[in-house]
Structure 1
């Protein structure tokens, strides 16, 4: 019986974290760059100076095509200017929200994907960036 209570408590905790993650927004630009990653291993970025294990390559695509790829891969664009956009992705079961941000830099687009809550992301943000990259490389 105690095992059932533990399972229910964990489920309630994850539901609560999912709801909590829905409140907030992407960090935005800092000194005309995507904000640096925090200390938790639940994010990736293509900006210079990122630890190698959390680095991804920038996207070799137009800003418009990256925006289209984000929407095609399940993202919802929440903010957009001529050279910056933020989007959210929501997990299916617990409704965790992750932020994806893109900054146009000439012929490339820098990308940052980060979980709003939790410590580890089990590689979800890296996989998301690679899914966007794969979409951009696929024939139209």
Structure 2
């Protein structure tokens, strides 16, 4: 699995080669200390890496302002996943994000963007989250 997938932050798209690029923006619970918050996107990324994805990487970082130290939390939590359009992995990716959020007692949020269409998943009831996810997946799988 490679890093550095070229994409524009905030935009997933279907490439001509049959690969769908999905951007995930992981926003850790604001009550976590910085060290804990830094680990949150890495945990989700590890779970996604276990899926049958073409590749997974970090979204390109915007240039840091002069004098800035390190990356900001938003840049650190941006993950880009390339999926084979024929593989049907998109619903599995969304289920993985949903399950990951459901296992956490923290108030993390994950924004998922594909083809300019964004859904934000957070701490919600299982029924609320499932209804939202089902509609989103249908839009992007033709189901």
For this structure pair, what is the TM-score category when the shorter chain's length is used for normalisation? 0.3 to 0.5
Q: TM-score, normalised by structure 2?
A: 0.38
Look at both structures and tell me which one has the larger radius of gyration over its CA atoms.
Answer: 1
Q: TM-score, normalised by structure 1?
A: 0.38
